[in-house]
């Protein structure tokens, strides 16, 4: 089994994975359960002989359990734990005014976004400016940087590679 639908997946977008059983063991059965224990609808297509494509769309942030069996036999590794995330629920707020040589602070609240990796880049004139991140617990962070020149600085925050909306 392989595919992005077995890794971190974005909420509201189609996730897929393939099942390629060895030999003729029968049809696959897939049951996907979301973090609220509700069953997530999935479909199985047969794009080629002895290969099955599973598609589903997660609707909730959190852990999803993917159970797979072929011909009544559980696939090794099943159930799979898949983490759904929503970058639009990560918040960047509370930026303080900037003065050259003085720290500028802002907050990031990733608690509603699910599991993931934050990437924070502060830049000016195409050059990166060092920034410092302090964890405040519960996926909340305080970030600061010290501008060395009086010019507009750009703050870019990405969550699992996706841009995060900023509210300044």
CA distances from 50 to 22, 89, 150 (A): 8, 39, 63
pLDDT at 26 > cutoff 80? no
- Tell me what pLDDT residue 24 has: 61
Report, as an integer, the average pLDDT of 85-110.
93
Q: Is the pLDDT of residue 149 over 80?
A: yes
What's the whole-number average pLDDT of the chain?
91
Contact predicate 131/143, CB 8 Å = yes
So where are the chain's domains? Answer: 4-85, 87-163
Q: What is the mean pLDDT of residues 48-53?
A: 81
Is domain 87-163 in CATH 2.60.40.10, yes or no?
yes
Between CA 48 and CA 122 the distance in angstroms is 47
**CA-based torsion, 154, 106, 157, 119: positive or negative:** positive
CATH 2.30.30.30 given to domain 4-85: no
Going by pLDDT thresholds of 50, 70 and 90, the confidence category of residue 167 is low
Q: How many CB atoms lie within 10 A of CB 117?
A: 11
Q: Does 87-163 match 4-85 at the fold level?
A: yes
């Amino acid at each position: 089994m392989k595919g992005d639908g077995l890794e971190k997946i974005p909420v509201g977008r189609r996730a897929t994975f393939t099942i390629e059983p060895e030999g003729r063991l029968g049809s696959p059965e897939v049951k996907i359960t979301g973090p609220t224990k509700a069953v997530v609808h999935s479909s199985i297509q047969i794009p080629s002989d002895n290969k099955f494509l599973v598609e589903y769309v997660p609707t909730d942030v959190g852990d999803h359990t993917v159970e797979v069996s072929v011909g009544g036999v559980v696939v090794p590794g099943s159930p799979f734990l898949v983490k759904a995330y929503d970058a639009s629920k990560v918040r960047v707020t509370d930026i303080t005014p900037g003065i050259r040589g003085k720290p500028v602070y802002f907050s990031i609240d990733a608690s509603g976004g699910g599991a993931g990796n934050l990437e924070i880049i502060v830049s000016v004139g195409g050059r990166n400016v060092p920034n410092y991140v302090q964890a405040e617990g519960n996926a909340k962070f305080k970030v600061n940087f010290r501008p060395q020149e009086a010019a507009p600085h750009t703050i870019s925050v990405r969550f699992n590679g996706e841009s995060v909306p900023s509210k300044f």
